[in-house]
Amino acid sequence: MQLIRIKEVARQYNMSPSTFYRWHCYGKFPKLFARLGKILFVDETELRKIAKESKSAPSKGANEA
């Protein structure tokens, strides 16, 4: 488990920090987040696993005509 602050991981992955806060609020990826005190962290190891799975999964509607 490698915890990184949301601002840092958003910068690394070129995403908006609000995306991560939204995911946490909606409970989209429960294993991805950890809260220490009032600060929300992202588990970078879990984020890499999610990104790898999404790349290998076929996209929805890619070949539909």
The per-residue pLDDT for range 38-54, each reduced to its tens digit, is 999 999 999 999 888 88
Report the share of the chain in percent with pLDDT over 70. Answer: 88
As given in the structure block, the two tokens for residue 34 are 């950890």
Q: Are 42 and 20 in contact (CB under 8 A)?
A: yes
- pLDDT for 64 equals 53
Give the global pTM: 0.76
CB atoms within 10 A of CB 41: 19
Identify whether 64 is part of a domain.
no
- pLDDT for 1 equals 83
CA distances from 47 to 1, 44, 53, 62, 64 (A): 10, 5, 10, 24, 29
State the total domains in the chain. Answer: 1
Determine the 3-state secondary structure of 33 from DSSP. strand
Identify whether 65 is part of a domain.
no
Sign of the CA dihedral with 10 first, then 29, 33, and 47 last: negative
What CATH number is attached to the domain comprising 51?
1.10.10
Containing structural domain, residue 12: 3-56
- pLDDT for 60 equals 65
